[in-house]
């Protein structure tokens, strides 16, 4: 590639840092240049090239390496593990791994055995690279790490690494994202390469390379495991139980290098010995960085609170988990604002230096790290044993498929979950058989308490400081969400038991429902499927298979059983012969319940032939795609529809929606975003006319706020400013728009608290009051779980029990819609009941209470359904994902 060569030559003229100054390398180990044609930093190694080099290293050193594929991405790219160790251990890897797993479970491990394992086992250092596909240097650093460890000669540190450790390199966690980055970078590259930050080669078009195919941030996916990449990594980690796990990233090009110790706040389940190890590894990297004059920082920005990061999840399994961050050249070179040029090679060398310091430090502290690991898992059992929640009982509620999904989610993270075969008694309560039991007294106790406890405490001093900062409008230092309790988000009731529960039970496996070919039992009239996640999945697949299904818009009782609103009805008379044989496998696959009925005569409520029983159809869905949608919201919605509920989706770029025939679709989903391209009179008229002809428009989060904008007015409510005033656009009397100097004295303003009036001049000057902003969005909520009360008479709430918890993030507050305009089918709870988990400041709590979460507005033959928040948040908000699926699956029928 000529252009790259020119740039490489220019950069070579500047001093390019050596990988390891003075190192001598074994010529029998191939260099990257010999295999791929470029040296480290001359090119961004592509996802296709990367395994070619690893294979060459594996072939040159077969006795010291193992290369294996651990999963495939959505786009079909392989994910690799490259294991480096002594020939003796590589030859007996299965035995070593079995011993590593024994060390991870202190139960049944005798004192002698424990001591023997600590004496004999290697410390395992797991180095993960490039989970964010546009954070490019770390994957090339992975190749440099592998080369150096295999080729360097006469290096005592590396000899120790082979003697006392195994290094596992995950070189490229997100090849789909990396591929996306590399293509756009090459496409945009100037003849000589351009270091200008805003140059096209650095400036990624939507959605950028950070995320995977479904646009997930996989560094938030660890306990959710929604993506195959994460599932593969977790399976691999649970085979090995590494003692040190590092996730290597990139950050903005003007920064330096970050390694631990991390910033506050810490997850409260991190132990003192782990914190001591953060310092041990931080100091060791600092020594190497100081030797070479590389700048770095620690204790800022990157915290260890949220349990779904690539470093925190291994921490909660007992490892020393760490994140490293390198300033990104976002290409081959980047002009920093201080005038210096940061090269791609710089980034590789920095990551390489930190990684080699880490594997060396791990080897030097082998015994300590193994002891700490064993002690972490032993003390987790002891702590759980003494916990007031010695055992958690997950109670299957109106939608038992959600409890099962939660049980399986936990089991696939190495958490032992049992299903009770008999009723469970906790205090005065008796929970029927079929409940799930999770004991805290197990080696993964700290991880499971993070996921099952309603609240994970944040350090008080940290919260106090954030309170001070926000009051001064300094912005908070909260890195991610403050709540993630899975039972709340799955809307599964948990009953904690202070004592061990001795009931007959069987372990829950992670296996999906076995494919069953068994037909349903025969039925004269048909089958009733109570609504829930599994039923929605079943109905979606059955509709696509051509089975005719109806949906009960009101409750009824039949054959002595009550069926709540939303029950799906499959009639024999409306379907072809062989219904039982066709429907049976679909019901079994999704784990739904189908009740055969021989009579349609109800005991109470509506009849099966009532006008309130509507025919469903497989919806044709248009999902707005590309800019200005927020890519995560668009990706989550697409994933939830396509992969969770099996709903076909046509993703159409917002810029092309005017070319689409809207009548080809039953549902339009607008993911979070501000849709300026659709705000003109003509696009809005088209959308409104389509809704009136029977369309279902679903808007999410910022798209709902856009729809509530007075000019757009697709829903007839408004968002609020701080203090409760409607968020209408500022109008300047002079007619100029967007003036920042507007005084707000226009007649349209009302209720401004800070407005001056004749009487205030009599009082002493109030400095604090005088500096309050005049027009401001509501107080920000940094990601918390709040309660919503649902209107159980509305079909949108099929499968819900009247109250659920939702993930709330940001500053959107919707005034409830008036009764003559629509219905508030989900409303935030009253102030005292509002917060289920996490940090919600008082001002936000005051203003959010009883405001609208889910708004329904009929329009002609169709309707608009507006979610105040993203119901598909990271795809771990199971209960609200069902609300979203209801909107899409049921909307066209009503
Ligand atoms: Zn990153």
Contact 754, 766 (CB under 8 A): no
- Pick out the chain residues at pLDDT < 50: 1-2, 13, 733-758
- Residue 173 Cα to ligand 1 middle (Å): 11
- If you measure from the C-alpha of residue 77 to the centroid of ligand 1, how many angstroms do you get, rounded to a whole number? 20
Q: How many angstroms does the Cα of residue 131 sit away from the middle of ligand 1?
A: 7
CA–centroid distance, residue 184 to ligand 1 (Å): 19
Cα separation of the two ends of the chain: 58
CA dist., res. 410 & res. 510, Å (int): 9
Strands 649-653 and 621-625: parallel
pLDDT at 763: 79
Question: Pick from 589, 432, 436, 423: which is nearest to 509 by CA?
Answer: 436
394 three-class SS: strand
The angle subtended at Cα 127 by Cα 122 and Cα 128, nearest 5°, is 145
- State in Å: Cα 467 to ligand 1 middle: 27
| Calpha distance 814→817 (Å, rounded) | 8
Q: What is the pLDDT of residue 761?
A: 55
Give 490 Cα–ligand 1 centroid separation in angstroms: 28
* Distance from the alpha carbon of residue 308 to the mean position of ligand 1, in angstroms: 13
Is 518 strand, coil or helix?
Answer: coil
User: What is the CB-side half-sphere exposure of residue 209 using CA atoms within 13 A?
Assistant: 30
Distance, CA 310 to ligand 1 centroid (Å)?
10
The predicted pLDDT at position 518 comes to 79
Quick one: 170 exposed, middle or buried, by C-beta within 10 A (0-12, 13-18, 19+)?
buried
- CB-CB neighbours of 402 under 10 Å: 25
Pairing, β 165-170 against β 78-84? antiparallel
Find the 172 Cα to ligand 1 centroid distance in Å: 12
Pairing of β 696-700 and β 667-670: parallel
- Which among 258, 276, 181, 269 is positioned nearest to 223, based on CA atoms? 269
Cβ(373)–Cβ(365) below 8 Å: no
Query: With contact defined as beta carbons under 8 Å apart, do 699 and 822 qualify?
Result: no
What spacing in Å lies between the alpha carbon of 329 and ligand 1's midpoint? 14
Tally Cβ neighbours within 10 Å of residue 22: 6
Q: What is the pLDDT of residue 70?
A: 98
Are 185 and 331 in contact, with CB atoms under 8 Å apart? yes
pLDDT of 565: 96
* Helix or strand run (H / E) with residue 7: helix 2-13
Q: How far apart are CA 262 and CA 295, in angstroms?
A: 17
Q: What is the pLDDT of residue 600?
A: 94
How far away, in angstroms, is 887 Cα from ligand 1 center? 34
Ligand 1 centre distance from Cα of residue 475 (Å): 21
- The pLDDT value recorded for residue 824 is 98
CB contact at 8 A, 427 and 390: no
Distance 135 CA to ligand 1 centre (A): 6
Tell me which residue of 318, 322, 327, 325 sits closest to 359, measured CA to CA.
322
Ligand 1 centre to CA of 810 (Å) is 22
Cα(259) to centroid(ligand 1), Å: 13
Contact 370, 267 (CB under 8 A): no
Alpha carbon of 276 to ligand 1 centroid (Å): 24
Of how many residues is the chain composed?
A: 894
Q: 3-class secondary structure for 559-606?
A: CCEEECCCCEEEECCCCCCCHHHHHHHHHHHHCCCCEEECCCCCCEEC
DSSP reduced 3-state for 421: coil
CA of 188 to the centre of ligand 1 (A): 22
Q: What is the CA(676)–ligand 1 centre distance, in A?
A: 30
Q: What is the pTM of this model?
A: 0.94
Measured from the Cβ of residue 743, the count of other Cβ atoms closer than 10 Å reads 12
Q: How many CA atoms lie within 13 A of 864 on its CB side?
A: 30
Ligand 1: centre distance to CA 857 (Å)? 40
Strand partners, 429: 426
In 26-119, beta strands by DSSP E: 65-72, 78-84
- Ranges of beta strands (E only) in 330-472 are 333-335, 341-343, 391-395, 418-420, 424-426, 429-431, 436-439
DSSP 28-41: TSPPHHHHHS--BT
Contact 375, 438 (CB under 8 A): no
Q: How far is the CA of 251 from the centre of ligand 1 (A)?
A: 7
Q: How far is the CA of 750 from the centre of ligand 1 (A)?
A: 45
Ligand 1 geometric centre to CA of 219 (Å): 7
Mean pLDDT of the chain: 94
Q: Which of 488, 526, 550, 583 is nearest to 795 (CA)?
A: 550
Yes or no: say if 888 and 865 are a contact pair by the CB < 8 Å rule: no
Residue 252 neighbours by CB under 8 Å, 6+ apart: 327, 328
Query: Residue 738's pLDDT is what?
Result: 38
Q: How far is the CA of 136 from the centre of ligand 1 (A)?
A: 10
């Amino acid at each position: 590639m000529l252009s790259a060569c020119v740039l490489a030559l220019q950069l070579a003229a500047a001093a390019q840092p050596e990988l390891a100054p003075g190192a001598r390398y074994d010529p029998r180990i191939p260099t990257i240049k010999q295999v791929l044609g470029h040296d480290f930093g001359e090119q961004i190694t592509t996802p296709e090239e990367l395994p070619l080099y690893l294979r060459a290293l594996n072939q040159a050193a077969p006795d010291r390496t193992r290369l294996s594929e651990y999963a495939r991405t959505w786009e079909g790219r392989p994910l690799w593990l490259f294991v480096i160790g002594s020939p003796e251990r590589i030859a007996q890897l299965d035995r070593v791994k079995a011993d590593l797993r024994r060390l991870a479970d202190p139960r049944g491990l005798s004192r002698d055995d424990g001591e023997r394992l600590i004496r004999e086992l290697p410390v395992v250092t797991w180095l993960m690279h490039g989970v964010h596909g546009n954070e490019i240097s770390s994957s090339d650093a992975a190749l440099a790490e592998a080369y150096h460890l295999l080729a360097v000669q006469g290096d005592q540190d590396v000899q120790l690494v082979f003697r006392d450790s195994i290094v596992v390199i995950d070189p490229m966690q997100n090849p789909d994202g990396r591929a996306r980055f590399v293509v756009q970078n090459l496409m945009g590259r100037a003849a000589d390469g351009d270091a200008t930050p805003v140059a096209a080669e650095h400036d990624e078009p939507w959605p950028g390379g950070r995320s995977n195919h479904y646009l997930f941030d996989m560094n938030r996916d660890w306990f959710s495991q929604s993506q195959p990449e994460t599932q593969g990594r977790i399976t691999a980690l649970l085979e090995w139980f590494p003692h040190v796990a590092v996730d290597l990233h990139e950050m903005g090009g003007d920064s330096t290098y970050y390694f631990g110790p991390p910033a506050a706040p810490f997850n409260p389940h991190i132990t003192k010995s782990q914190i001591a190890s953060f310092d041990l590894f931080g100091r060791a990297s600092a020594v190497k960085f100081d030797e070479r004059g590389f700048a770095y920082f620690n204790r800022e920005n990157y915290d260890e609170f949220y349990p779904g990061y690539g470093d925190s999840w291994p921490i909660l399994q007992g490892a020393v988990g760490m994140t490293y961050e390198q300033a990104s050249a976002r290409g081959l070179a980047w002009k920093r604002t201080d005038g210096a040029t940061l090269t791609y090679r710089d980034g590789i060398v920095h990551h390489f230096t930190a990684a080699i310091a880490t594997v060396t430090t791990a080897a030097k502290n082998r015994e300590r790290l193994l002891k700490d690991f064993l002690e972490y898992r032993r003390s987790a059992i002891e702590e759980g044993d003494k916990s007031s929640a010695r055992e958690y009982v997950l109670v299957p509620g109106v939608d038992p498929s959600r409890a099962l999904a939660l049980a399986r989610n936990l089991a696939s993270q190495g958490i032992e979950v049992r299903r009770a075969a008999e009723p469970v008694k906790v205090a005065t309560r008796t929970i029927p058989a079929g409940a799930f039991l999770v004991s805290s007294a197990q080696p993964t106790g700290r991880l499971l308490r993070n996921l099952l406890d309603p609240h994970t405490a944040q350090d008080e001093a940290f919260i106090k400081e954030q309170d001070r900062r926000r009051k001064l409008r300094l912005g908070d230092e909260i890195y991610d969400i403050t709540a993630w309790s899975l039972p709340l988000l799955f809307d599964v009731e948990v009953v904690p038991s202070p004592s061990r529960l001795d009931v007959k039970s069987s372990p829950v496996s992670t296996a999906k429902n076995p494919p069953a070919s068994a037909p349903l039992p025969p039925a004269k009239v048909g089958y009733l499927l109570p609504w829930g996640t599994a039923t929605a999945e079943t109905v979606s697949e059955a509709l696509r298979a051509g089975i005719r299904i109806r949906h009960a818009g009101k409750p009824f009782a039949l054959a002595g059983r009550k069926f709540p609103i939303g029950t799906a009805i499959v009639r024999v008379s409306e379907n072809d012969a062989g219904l039982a044989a066709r429907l049976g496998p679909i019901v079994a696959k999704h784990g739904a319940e189908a009740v055969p009925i021989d009579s349609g005569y109800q005991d109470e409520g509506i009849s099966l032939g009532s006008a309130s029983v509507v025919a469903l159809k497989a919806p044709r869905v248009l999902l707005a795609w590309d800019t200005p949608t927020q890519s995560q919201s668009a990706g989550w919605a697409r994933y939830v529809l396509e992969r969770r509920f099996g709903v076909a989706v046509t993703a159409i770029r917002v810029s092309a929606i005017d070319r689409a025939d809207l009548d080809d679709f039953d549902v339009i989903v607008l993911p979070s975003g501000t849709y300026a391209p659709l705000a003109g009179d003509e696009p809005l008229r088209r959308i409104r006319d389509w809704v009136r002809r029977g369309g279902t428009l679903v808007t999410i989060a910022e798209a709902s706020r856009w729809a509530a904008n007075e000019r757009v007015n697709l829903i007839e409510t408004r968002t609020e400013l701080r203090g409760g005033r409607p968020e209408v656009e500022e109008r300047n009397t002079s007619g100029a728009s967007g003036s920042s100097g507007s005084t707000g004295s226009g007649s349209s303003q009302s209720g401004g608290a800070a407005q001056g009036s004749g009487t205030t001049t009599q009082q002493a000057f109030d400095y604090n009051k005088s500096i309050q902003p005049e027009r401001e969005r509501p107080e920000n909520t940094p990601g918390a779980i709040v309660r919503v009360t649902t209107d159980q008479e509305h079909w949108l709430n099929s499968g819900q029990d009247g109250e659920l918890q939702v993930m709330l993030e940001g500053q959107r507050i919707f005034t409830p819609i008036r009764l003559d305009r629509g219905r508030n089918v989900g409303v935030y709870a009253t102030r005292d009941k509002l917060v289920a988990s996490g940090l919600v400041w008082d001002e936000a709590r005051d203003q959010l209470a009883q405001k609208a979460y889910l708004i329904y507005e009929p329009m002609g033959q169709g309707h608009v359904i507006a979610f105040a928040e993203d119901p598909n948040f990271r795809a771990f908000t199971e209960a609200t994902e069902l609300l979203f699926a209801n909107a899409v699956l049921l909307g066209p029928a009503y």
